[in-house]
Structure 1
C-alpha cells in the first residue's frame, strides 16, 4: 500500500514534464504577441501548473477532503491515482476512470480546444498580416474562438481531474477572458469602425448561433 502511494504522488518530474508539454503545445498554437495575449496565456499556464501539481505532485484536494471522503467511501484508497478522478469517485463508478464516459468527454474537449486554438490562430495570423478583420474559419461563427478554445481545454481537465484550486480558478479565468474580449472588441471597433460593427452584429461573442448559419 505504501509503495502504491509513493507511485501515485510525489512525481515532480511528471509535474514538470506534463506542464511543459501542454504549455508548449498551447504556446505553439496560440503564439502570444501582445500584452493581452501574454495575460491570457499566463492565466492558462497557472491553471495547467496547478492541475498537474495536484495530479502528480501533492494531492491537496484529496488531503483537505480526506476525512469526508474516507467516511463516505471507506473502501477507496484515497492516495491511489484513480481516486484523484473525483467525479468518478463521487458518482460511484467502479471501473477504471480512464475508460469512463467523463474521461472520454474530457479528452474530446481538450483535443477540440487545441484544434480550435490552432485553427483560429491561423486565421488571425493571416488577417493581421493583411491588416484586415479575421472573419473566416472559426471567426465566422464566434468573435473570440481562442478564448473559447482555452475554456474547452480547462473544462475538459476539470471533468478529468477536479481540484479545489482549479475549480476556484476556472470562473475567475472566465471572467478575465470575458473582460479581455470586451477590451479587444473596443480596439477592433476603433480600428475598423463600421466593418467591425457589422461583423459583431451578426457574429456572437462566444456561443455560435448555428441555426442562423443553416437557415
Structure 2
C-alpha cells in the first residue's frame, strides 16, 4: 500500500471546519428546547465524526486498507483525494472535487442549509403569533428543518463517506422521524383542530407532486 504523502493529522483544520458548519447550522436552526437540542446535537456529532476523518485520522482508510491496497496499488491511500471513496472505487481519474458526486453533494448541502434558514424564519414568526407554521417550506411538508439536516448529512456522504458516518446516518434519520412524530403529538395537543387540518393536507416528509395544498396561516386552536 502506497502511503507516501500523508495528508491527515490536520486536527486544527478538522476543528475549524466542524465549528464553521455547526455554527452555520446553529445560526439557521436556533435550538430553543430539549427536542431541538437533541436533533442539533445529533447533527453536530455527525459533522465532528466526518471532519475528524476527513482531516484528522482516516479510520475508514485504515479499516479498508487490506482491500483498497491491492485493488489500487498505485494510489496514495493517505492522500486527500483517496478519501473521496466513491470517486476512488469507481475508478475515476482527475480531480475528485469536480466529479458528479462532489457537485451533487454541494447541491444537497446548499438545499439543506436553505431549508433550515427559511424554515426557522417561518417557525419563529408563527410561534410569536401562536399559530401553526404553514407558509414557506411548511406549506410543502410538516418537518422541513429535519429534512434540511438529513439533506446536509446526505450531501456529505456523497462527498466523503466514512464507515462511522454511514453507520450514523440511518440511525439519525430514524431519530429525526421519531422526533417529528413526538413533535406532532405536542402540536396536536397545543393547536387541536387547526393542527389536524394542516396535517391532513400537508405531507410529513415527502411533498405532494402537485405542490402545497394550502399556504395560508392557520390560527392556533
TM-score by length of 1: 0.96
Residue 101 of structure 1 aligns with which residue? Answer: 100
Confirm whether residue 163 of structure 1 aligns to residue 162 of structure 2.
yes
**Runs of 4 or more off by more than 3 Å in structure 1?**
none
CA distance in 2, matches of 1:195, 1:94: 55
Q: How does 1:60-209 map to 2 (within 5 A)?
A: 60-209=59-208
- In structure 2, distance between residues paired with 1:130 and 1:59: 48
Q: Given that residues 144 and 205 in structure 2 are in contact (C-alpha distance below 8 angstroms), is that contact kept between their aligned partners in structure 1?
A: yes
Distance in 2, matches of 1:189 and 1:213, equals 20
SS at 1:205's partner residue? coil
Cα gap change, 1:17 to 1:171, in 2 (>3 Å): same
Gaps of 5+ in 2: 214-221
1-structure distance, mates of 2:204, 2:92: 37
TM-score (norm 2): 0.93
Structure 2 CA distance, aligned partners of 1:97 and 1:3? 19
Per the TM alignment, residue 18 of structure 1 is displaced from its structure 2 partner at its CA by: 0.2
Q: Could you list the runs of 5+ residues in structure 1 that have no partner in the other structure? A: none
Deviation at 1:109, TM superposition (A): 0.6
| Partner SS for 1:171 | helix
Distance in structure 2 (CA, Å) of the matches to 1:210 and 1:140:
13
